[in-house]
Structures are given as structure tokens and as C-alpha cells.
Amino acid sequence: MSLEIIQPDGLDRPETYSHVVVATGGRLVFVAGQMSDDRDGNLVAPGDLAAQARQVFANLARALAAAGARPDQVTRIGIYVVGHRREYLPVIEAARVAVFGDHRPTDTLLGVQTLAAPGYLIEVDAIAVTD
């Protein structure tokens, strides 16, 4: 399996994601939206976006590992943030980099009114391609 990262001419050069990722070979792994639950299903850090983001990305890494996938094999993530504002980006990016390091999968970040249950501030899903 190989991933080709493409940053097309004429588009901006984002620091934390890629505009295009081309995956060849391998198998697809789809990870459902991960929320800021602990292992017992309890909401972690109500009202604290930074703590919830760290938990969400840690949960995403656990889900990937359970499927035999690594963060550097992720081709796309979807990020859903309740009441998103631009000043939230550094908080989300810090949690993201803690899992992905220099790897930059494509992403879509959406501001949403609510998630599946009250108190949740962020959810992230993913698609990976493994060997």
C-alpha cells in the first residue's frame, strides 16, 4: 500500500492536512465517529474542548489499532465541532498532531449545532488504507 500526498499548484499550503491523498493497494478501514468517551462510555471533560479533542483523537488511534491500522495510513478524517469558531483550530490541531505527527490526511471540518448527546463538543471519523 502506498499513499501519495498531493498539494496542487494554485491552492494554499495547509499545515495540518493535504488537499489530495491517492491510495493504491491495500484494504480500506472505516472508523465511525469517535467521541470523548472513556472506556466505560462516560463523557470526558464536559465543557472543555481541548480535553475532549485529546480524548477523541486518542480514541481514534485506539480504533485504528484495533483494525490493524496506523495513523500514518489514514487518508481522510471528518471533524465535527459544536459551535465551531476559528479560534478553536489551534486546540483541535494540537490534539490532531499528537496522534498524526507530520502525517496530513485530507479532512473536512464542520461546525455543527449538536452531536449525538448533550455535552459532547467534538467528533472525528476516519478512513485508512492498510497493507
What is the rounded distance in angstroms from the CA atom of residue 30 to the CA atom of residue 36?
Answer: 18
39-89 confidence digits (pLDDT tens): 999 999 999 999 999 999 999 999 999 999 999 999 999 999 999 999 999
Asked if residues 84 and 12 have their Cβ atoms less than 8 Å apart, the reply is no
What local confidence, expressed as pLDDT, does residue 131 receive?
A: 87
Asked if pLDDT for residue 1 goes beyond 90, the answer is no
Closest by alpha carbon to 74, among 23, 37, 12? 23
**pLDDT band at residue 6 using 50, 70 and 90 as cut-offs:** very high
Domain ranges of the chain: 2-130
Domain 2-130 is found in CATH 3.30.565.10:
no
15-40 confidence digits (pLDDT tens): 889 999 998 888 999 999 999 999 99
